[in-house]
Amino acid sequence: MLKFLKQVSDYTKETVQAAKYIGQGLAVTFDHMQRRPVTVQYPYEKLIPSERFRGRIHFEFDKCISCEVCVRVCPINLPVVDWEFNPETKKKKLNHYSIDFGVCIFCGNCVEYCPTNCLSMTEEYELAAYDRHELNYDSVALGRLPYKVTEDPMVTPLREFAYLPKGVIEPHGLPGGAKRSGSRPEDIVETEK
Ligand code: SF4
Ligand code: SF4
């Protein structure tokens, strides 16, 4: 009898739990049903990438010490570090550095582990090319800084949804001084000091 009662109790608990999850899912669905679709008129309008966006990698040739840490931590050993030993200075001399963005998965490992911080991830995401070999960026191409969406006179920048003021879901026609939801990283650092 006790066993039967325990089974009924467990079954009831699981049913309530399942109903709760279904309710949570439907709440999200109903919330979206009230929203209007937002169309970003790309390429005339572009969303401003978020602060930690992992776009095309930027490389600073002069800071690289040819240690090859970036190659070892890359899941596909992608960066090509071409160096030679200089017997006079007894140091490695970097000749060439390249990353093929047709293969890179933008995981950011190389950026995270580079000891001299000569790698960084930019907000550039427009990497389309007619020939996939053009995606193999050499040190010159990697050293180019991206064009910021907010500084491009041909583009209307729109705030990414995460940064819209609380309760706002339409990035068009926002007043200039509209405060974003949440804090900027520098504000968080300031308050934690
Ligand atoms: S980890 Fe950094 S310093 Fe070392 S080879 Fe790679 S880019 Fe150069
Ligand atoms: S972002 Fe990831 S996949 Fe791309 S080069 Fe760096 S470590 Fe390799």
**Atom 4 in ligand 2: residue holding the nearest Cα:** 104
Contact 49, 102 (CB under 8 A): no
Residues 69-102 have pLDDT tens digits of 999 999 999 999 999 999 998 999 999 999 999 9
Is the distance from the beta carbon of residue 107 to the nearest atom of ligand 2 less than 6 Å? yes
State the number of CA atoms in the 13 A half-sphere of 26 facing the CB.
6
Residues 118-142 have pLDDT tens digits of 999 999 999 999 999 999 999 999 9
Centre of ligand 2 from the C-alpha of residue 110, in Å: 6
* CATH number of 57-145, picked from 2.40.10.220, 3.40.630.30, 3.30.70.3270, 2.40.30.110: 3.30.70.3270
Nearest to 151 by CA among 127, 170, 123, 172: 123
Centre of ligand 1 from the C-alpha of residue 123, in Å: 21
Atom of ligand 1 nearest to the CA of 73: 1
**Atom 2 in ligand 2: residue holding the nearest Cα:** 107
What is the value of pTM for the model shown? 0.77
Contact 168, 58 (CB under 8 A): no
